[in-house]
Amino acid sequence: MSNIYISLVSEKINSADSKKTAEKIIEFLSERKIVKKNLSDCVLGSSKGYAPAENYRNAIEKSELDFSELKINGIELITERQVFDNGGNGLEEVNCPNCGENNIENDWGNSLGNWHSGIDTDKIKCQKCGTEKSITQFEFKPTWAFGNFGITFWNWTKLNPKFVAELEKIIGTELKVVNGKI
Ligand SMILES: [Zn+2]
């Protein structure tokens, strides 16, 4: 069975602030009883996450949905530099921030690897207009995001926009929404 996920990503938080921000978010979510306070095995992979608590429905749009019985249903906090891709959902466009040209045939994968490793040569030159910018400034369709901080919701359905706005207020930056499947 495949798992879906939604990642909310801040592309602006620096690595020094990401752990502090994660603590604030967990405090907020556990106080509201959206997730449990303790880590458990409820996310995909080797890391642990926070399982949904009694009020998790307040965070989603279709509150009649029930995923509390799923094995993978927790949220995961990511506090290190990461490429938040959309998993097996396919990528269609990598668009130049200057002219909009789709650079999907360009060597963007290499630049993205460099960005992830913290190497400076993360720039890519647009095939059409020649603009050279960090690959993270190109627009990926469907949405990908690049940053030091993210919250991944495993098997949660569409989040309530009011809930996302509350998180943005606490975090202090806007959040990009990445929808993925694995
Ligand atoms: Zn261009």
Distance between Cα 7 and ligand 1 center (Å): 28
Distance between Cα 83 and ligand 1 center (Å): 22
Task: Please list all protein residues whose beta carbon sits less than 5 angstroms from ligand 1, which is an ion.
Answer: 96, 98-99, 101, 126, 128-129, 131
Distance between Cα 139 and ligand 1 center (Å): 11
Distance between Cα 132 and ligand 1 center (Å): 8
What is the per-residue pLDDT for 46? 86
Distance between Cα 48 and ligand 1 center (Å): 41
178: burial class by Cβ within 10 Å (0-12, 13-18, 19+)?
Answer: buried
Mean pLDDT of 56-63: 91
What is the per-residue pLDDT for 133? 96
Please check whether residue 12 is in contact with residue 173, taking contact to mean a CB–CB distance below 8 angstroms: yes
What is the per-residue pLDDT for 32? 98
Distance between Cα 114 and ligand 1 center (Å): 21
pTM, to two decimals: 0.95
Residue 19 Cα distances to 45, 58, 81, 141, 145, angstroms: 20, 25, 12, 29, 18
Question: Could you identify the residue written with the tokens 């995961």?
Answer: 76
Distance between Cα 175 and ligand 1 center (Å): 25
What is the per-residue pLDDT for 119? 85
Is 29's pLDDT higher than 80?
Answer: yes
Q: 79, 82, 84, 83: which is closest to 23 by C-alpha?
A: 79
